[in-house]
Amino acid sequence: MNLIFKIIVWICRIQIGGLFIFSGLIKANDALGFSYKLEEYFEVFAKILSENGMGLLAVPMEWMAHIALPLSIFIVVFEIVLGILTLLGINMRRVALWLLVLIIFFTFLTFVSWYWDLVRSCGCFGDFIPLTPKTSFLKDLYLLVWIIPIVLARKKINSFLTPVGDKIVLFSSWITFFLFTFYAYNHLPYADHRAYAIGNHLLEQMETKKGNPLILYKLQHKTNGAIAEMANYPDDYQNWKPYINPNDSTQPYFREVDGELNIKLINIKSTGQTNKVIAIPEALKDDWTLIKDTTMIFKPDEDPKITDLTAYSFQDDEDKIQIMLNDTNYRFVLVIRDLSFFGEFTMANDGWHFNKSSKGEKYYKKFQELYPLNKNQTFYFSVLTSEYDVNKIDAFRQEMKTKVKFYNCDDKELKTMIRASPGLFLWKKDLVLDKWHYYDFPTFEDIEKDFLNK
């Protein structure tokens, strides 16, 4: 390789290796969340293929949807390992080809998702950096361009280490990052970037955040120093038309506002969530200059981060979530997506029956051991579940000997709330004080120590 090509390959290796490690670590932090996204992709593709007479191709998609979790763990660890090997130059003949295969796989998913508007968020960087399918597709094309030089030069890239060192790095990388990923899966993500993170106020996450809909930029008159403010119209900001002076159609429209001029004519360039001035109107160029350091950038309203949090009572079918989030007491909220985690349902002549398993009894008992905290009405207890069959819930409550009230919530929202089922929240009003995986449920003493200072 000549020197210039070597430099290009090195830059490509640093770019690709670093991005693969970064992307892999973000997803390894929440492999269960990534599995939800893979499952969504596969199910959508399987449905499309079936509807278009390609049922044979839909079968492997359905099969992969069923193994989305182990597949997600493998992919994220594989991604990190490939990044490490790329930086160190280990076994690049194979590594470069695997980089190419992996990026083609992701590019295909994101392209199909974007072009046919199938999946709204790709999950490439988890909840840490949400990307739209289009942005993710462009990102994958960018990576593909950087991978090509590595593929072309793969036979001439040598490792920094000895053959023994290569094997040690390969083995230790797989083991280390598998354990990292597996631990996060079994004990909730190390870092939580979702709306239900500890310390968040849920009512705030359920509100629309107001943008800045009025002033964009200011102009100053070169001769007399007068300040002119440019007012925007956010409902139609991408299609602004010049306001014509009714007395002279060749001139912009001005009017006095408290001694200042309010100009309603400006050229803008759309940049997503912000819009910036790119030109002063021709009629003003000779007399006005842009005051850049006193501008206010237009930002549209931000949609709520939480839109589907509900707590429908099985007694009166009313949503009680606002009552819960405005209650001044502590509240434990047990999230159960599937009641079958605790045992088995069977249908008899008199309806549903539930038989608890030893595992189910063990973990539900940990929840019940917190009940004495309610002796002074200090703590309330609730269950959020995606189960909608009240007869199954009654059978479950009878077998578990529990009087805790159950409320219904959309399953997708429960997946977002906590990466565990069952999983446990502690709220005070709408503030998320803590959350636990079922392996880590707190004890009575833990709560007294951490939240009651006893």
Predicted confidence at residue 220, as pLDDT, reads: 75
pLDDT at 454: 59
The residue type found at 350 is D
Q: What is the pTM of this model?
A: 0.79
C-alpha 84/C-alpha 17 separation (Å) is: 6
* Stretch (H or E) spanning 259: none
Res 212 pLDDT > 70 = no
| pLDDT at residue number 262 | 47
Token pair of 154, please? 């793969």
Task: Report the candidate in 265, 272, 257 with the shortest Cα–Cα distance to residue 217.
Answer: 265
Q: How far apart are CA 88 and CA 85, in angstroms?
A: 5
Per residue in 165-189, pLDDT (tens digit) is 999 999 999 999 999 999 999 999 9
Mean pLDDT over the full length of the chain: 84
The tally of CA atoms less than 13 A away on the side-chain side of residue 46 is 15
The answer to whether the CB of 95 falls within 8 A of the CB of 159 is no
Confidence (pLDDT) at 196: 97
| Amino acid in position 130 | P
Would the pLDDT of 321 be above 80?
yes
Tell which residue, 249, 246, 213, 248, has the closest CA to residue 231: 213
| Beta strands 260-263 and 267-271, pairing class | unpaired
Helices assigned H by DSSP within 335-409: 358-368, 390-400
pLDDT value for 270: 43
Q: What is the pLDDT of residue 284?
A: 64
150 vs 51, residue with greater confidence:
150
- Helix or strand or coil: residue 358? helix
**How much is the average pLDDT of 423-435?**
97
Contacts of 174 (CB under 8 A, 6+ apart): 77, 81
Q: What is the pLDDT of residue 36?
A: 92
Which string of DSSP letters, residue by residue, matches 367-383? Answer: HHTTGGGGTTS-EEEEE
Q: Determine what percent of the chain is predicted with pLDDT higher than 70.
A: 80
> Looking at the domain 312-451, which fold is it?
Glutaredoxin (3.40.30)
Q: Where are the domains of the chain?
A: 3-187, 215-294, 312-451
Quick one: pLDDT at residue 432?
Answer: 97
